[in-house]
Amino acid sequence: MITPVGVGRDAVWPALADGRTGITHIEDFDTSKLKTTIAGKCRDFEPEQFFDERELARLDRVSQLAIAATELAIKDARLPESALDSYDTGVVLGTGFGGQRSIEEFCGAYFSNGQGRRSAIAIPKSMYNASSSNIAIRFKTRGPNLTVTTACSSGANAIGQSFHMIRYGHAERVIAGGADAPVTPVVMDAWKEMRVLSTKNDDPGRACKPFSANRDGFVLAEGAGILVLEPLDDAIRRDAHVYAEITGYGATADAAHITFPDPEGEAFAMMRALKDARLSPDHIGYINAHGTATKLNDASETEAIKRVFGNRAYEIPISSTKSMLGHSMGAAGAIEFIVAVLAVEHGKIPPTINYEEPDPQCDLDYVTDGARRFGCQAPLRTAMSNSFGFGGNNAVLVVRELGK
């Protein structure tokens, strides 16, 4: 993973467990006309460590993040060359904004009456499937190559679809996850007009306050989260480090409003994920919430969790790692699923930071006093990761620790 709190699992997990923030002031473009001047930028990511100059010129930042995160994941999974250079290895990547930064550059050139710098690589650099295709080109994965774009649930949908591809025999292994690099002047301005970004610019690290009554919106971020998914037996046979077992995926559409969340669609996605995993609500010991810190999401998500879990909703630790990482759009669902994976593996639940004031609409246990030990209801630690996107897309994943 590449996130605003660090590059790679060994940097990201301790930071999240410690409740460290990755939100800072934006410094790489003029923010004087914006109401929000903070974001989650991956400051520790050094593209030069992964790419030469010519490659950098050909790749939008989103592709750089996606490919670099893939390289980290493949190394970690110790996938042999023969497993990569194969028609049985797929790539499914989620992204909300694709090559947005490049699109803005090329639009700028187009609308500048010939003053701007034209380019022959505008299309291959900015198309939405540039990242997943570049992963295939670099690592020679020849199986199905798909890009999923369902706004903020893209990364979770990508992982869920990959999980089902493997379960139903459409691929032997899939490089799955999400990447987004939407912190650009145009996107920041567009979100500003929707009035959903936090404007607590004075203290960036404390701006994003999921579930707190004084929350005022999300903080935009960039990042990438990539997993290598394969059948459990294969991973054990080749003696790979198996982090956890993905057991359930549920996806629904609210079919209601393009931005306004509907607890019914969200709840149904959670129930479907549980059914897919053949688990009951009693088995879930942690929920990594979508938890954007908008007024609407946090209230709706809380209501949806209550509809699924009934009175048990009050007993389940729920945290929003967006409080530390911000909202990386199409990458968020993937990064947060990896957080849930690490939580079941390490037996530790990362906190929701910046919580200050109780909200009667958000009255569950949001793990607001630092990380917590993963209590175990079921025989195996099991977590749920929620991702809800504009358009009314809901994607829920269930993961459990590896059985002994």
Partner 1 sequence: MTKEAREAIEDVVKDIVAAELRSERDQLTPTTHLMKDLGADSLDALNIALRLEEAFKIKIPDESIPNFLTIGDIVRGVREHQAQ
Contact between 241 and partner 1 (CB under 8 A)? no
Contact between 350 and partner 1 (CB under 8 A)? no
- Annotated active-site residue 290? The verdict is yes
At position 350, the amino acid (one-letter code) is: P
What is the CB neighbour count within 10 angstroms for residue 103? 18
Contact between 258 and partner 1 (CB under 8 A)? no
**Residue from 42, 208, 290, 362 carrying the catalytic annotation:** 290
Q: How far is CA 197 from CA 92, 143, 202, 263, 325, in A?
A: 29, 39, 14, 22, 14
Residue among 253, 242, 91, 86 nearest 166 (CA) = 91
Residue among 235, 319, 229, 309 nearest 271 (CA) = 309
Q: Of the two residues 51 and 268, which places its CB atom closer to partner 1 in the complex?
A: 51
Q: Of the two residues 32 and 49, which places its CB atom closer to partner 1 in the complex?
A: 49
Q: Of the two residues 32 and 115, which places its CB atom closer to partner 1 in the complex?
A: 115
Q: Which of 9, 11, 24, 119 binds partner 1 (CB under 8 A)?
A: 119
Please tell me what DSSP assigns to residue 197: B
Contact between 49 and partner 1 (CB under 8 A)? no
Q: Which of 94, 124, 160, 317 binds partner 1 (CB under 8 A)?
A: 124
Contact between 57 and partner 1 (CB under 8 A)? yes
Contact stretch for partner 1 (CB under 8 A) within 1-9, 54-62, 317-325, 344-352:
54-62
Half-sphere exposure of 373 (CA within 13 A, CB side): 3
Contact stretch for partner 1 (CB under 8 A) within 33-41, 118-126, 176-184, 312-320:
118-126
**Cα angle 248-299-333, degrees, rounded to a multiple of 5:** 35
Residue spans of beta strands (DSSP E) within 230-314: 245-253, 286-288
- Cα gap 137→28, rounded to integer Å: 30
Contact stretch for partner 1 (CB under 8 A) within 46-54, 134-142, 156-164, 341-349:
46-54
Q: Of the two residues 124 and 177, which places its CB atom closer to partner 1 in the complex?
A: 124
Contact stretch for partner 1 (CB under 8 A) within 27-35, 47-55, 150-158, 199-207:
47-55
Residue 161: φ, ψ to 5°: -65, -40
Residue among 316, 374, 377, 371 nearest 347 (CA) = 374
* DSSP of 91-108: EEEE-SSSSHHHHHHHHH
Burial of 278 from C-beta contacts in 10 A (0-12 / 13-18 / 19+): exposed
Q: How far is the CB of 37 from partner 1 (least distance, A)?
A: 33
Contact between 48 and partner 1 (CB under 8 A)? no
Contact between 96 and partner 1 (CB under 8 A)? no
- Annotated active-site residue 327? The verdict is yes
**Residue from 152, 208, 283, 346 carrying the catalytic annotation:** 152
Contact between 378 and partner 1 (CB under 8 A)? no
**Cα angle 161-167-172, degrees, rounded to a multiple of 5:** 90
Contact stretch for partner 1 (CB under 8 A) within 29-37, 49-57, 86-94, 195-203:
49-57
* DSSP of 15-80: HHHTT---EEE--SS--TT-S--EEE--TT--GGGT--HHHHHHS-HHHHHHHHHHHHHHHHHT--
Q: Of the two residues 33 and 54, which places its CB atom closer to partner 1 in the complex?
A: 54
Q: Which of 11, 107, 121, 371 binds partner 1 (CB under 8 A)?
A: 121
Contact between 54 and partner 1 (CB under 8 A)? yes
**Binding footprint of partner 1 on the chain (CB under 8 A):** 52-54, 57-58, 118-121, 124
Task: Please give the positions annotated as active site.
Answer: 152, 290, 327
